[in-house]
């Protein structure tokens, strides 16, 4: 029970951090040009993403929200199998739940997800904008992949 309460508290705090970051982006960046943090490499910009990763499935708010709910339900149901035990597993679990919930909240209440991290290499390459929840999901996936190399099968 203690592990669940700690996990729940961490997820709530991460979701709140994501929500605050998105509110700050909306408040400070929505009506202005992108803010150059590292010229030629990193900006803070306001983007309303009405799709999912890399802008796919534009305008499909409810199917994307339903998919997020189903993914979350599956992960909770199969949590022992997907995440395993240990600290790294707990961190990846919290990050993945928080990322899914953070973007789900945006989709359900705004109809889009606010993205604001904007990486690019001069004018040659521009990575799609993303947000803190996306970062949580990506780090969680990376941790799960790294942990999978250490798992032994019987």
Q: Are 131 and 116 in contact (CB under 8 A)?
A: yes
Please report which helix (H) or strand (E) contains residue 38, including its range: strand 35-38
Q: Which two tokens stand for residue 103?
A: 């973007």
The reply to whether 18 belongs to the active site is no
Q: Are 87 and 3 in contact (CB under 8 A)?
A: no
The reply to whether 134 belongs to the active site is yes
Q: What is the DSSP letter of 130?
A: B
Q: What is the CA radius of gyration of the chain?
A: 17
For 54, the 3-state DSSP assignment is helix
Q: Which of 18, 106, 118, 134 is catalytic?
A: 134
User: pLDDT of the chain along its 154 residues, tens only?
Assistant: 788 899 899 999 999 999 999 999 999 999 999 999 999 999 999 999 987 776 677 777 788 888 889 999 988 888 777 777 778 888 999 999 999 999 999 999 999 999 999 999 977 898 999 999 999 999 999 998 888 786 655 5
Q: Which of 18, 106, 115, 118 is catalytic?
A: 115
Q: Residue 55 contacts by C-beta under 8 Å, 6 or more apart in sequence? A: 49, 128
**CA gap 135, 53 in Å, rounded:** 12
| pLDDT confidence of residue 83 | 76
90: phi > 0 → left, psi -120 to 50 → alpha, else beta; which? Answer: alpha
């Amino acid at each position: 029970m203690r592990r669940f309460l700690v996990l729940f508290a961490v997820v709530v705090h991460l979701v709140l951090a994501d929500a605050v970051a998105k509110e700050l982006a909306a408040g400070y960046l929505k009506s202005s040009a992108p803010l150059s943090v590292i010229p030629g490499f990193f900006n803070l910009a306001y983007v309303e993403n009405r799709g999912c990763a890399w802008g796919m499935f534009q305008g499909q708010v409810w199917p994307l929200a339903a998919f997020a709910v189903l993914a979350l339900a599956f992960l909770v149901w199969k949590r022992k199998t997907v995440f395993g035990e240990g600290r790294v597993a707990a961190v990846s679990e919290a990050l993945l739940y928080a990322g899914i919930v953070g973007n789900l909240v945006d989709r359900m209440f705004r109809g889009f997800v606010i993205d604001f991290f904007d990486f690019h290499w001069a004018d040659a390459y521009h990575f799609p904008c993303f947000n803190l929840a996306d970062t949580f999901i990506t780090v969680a996936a990376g941790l799960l992949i790294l942990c999978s190399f250490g798992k032994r099968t019987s």
